[in-house]
Amino acid sequence: MTDASHDEHLRTSHPKGTTMKKLLWLIAGAGIGFLAARRFASTSQGRAFFDAVDARTSEFRATVVDSYHQRQADLRAAIGESDKGPRK
C-alpha cells in the first residue's frame, strides 16, 4: 500500500468524530456503571458482595506479591546474589 493510498484508507475508514463519540460513550458507560455500583453498594446485599470482592482481591494481591518475592529470591540465588536487595 502506498503512502497516498494508506492515508486515503485512514481518512475513509475512520470518519471524523467517531473517536470522540466512542470516547463519550465509554465515559458515559463508566459513569452509569459507577452510579449503579454505588447504589447497589448501599444495600446490605451490595455491601456483602463488595466485601467479598475486596477479600478476594486482597487475597489475589497477596498471592501475586508473595510469588514475585519468591521468584526474585530464586533469581538472586541463581546468580549468587544475596536476598537482601539490589546492590548499590
HEC letters along 42-80? CCHHHHHHHHHHHHHHHHHHHHHHHHHHHHHHHHHHHHC
Whether 87 has a pLDDT exceeding 90, the answer reads no
Distance CA 62, CA 60 (A): 5
Residue 47 pLDDT:
96
40 pLDDT band (50/70/90 cuts)?
very high
Q: Give yes or no: residues 34 and 57 share one domain.
A: no
pLDDT on residue 83: 57
- Specify the range with the lowest mean pLDDT, choosing from 2-11, 23-32, 47-56, 69-78: 2-11
Binned at pLDDT 50, 70 and 90, residue 79 comes out as very high
Residue 32, domain extent:
1-42
48 with 88, same domain?
yes
30 and 3 fall within a common domain: yes
pTM of the predicted model over 0.85: no
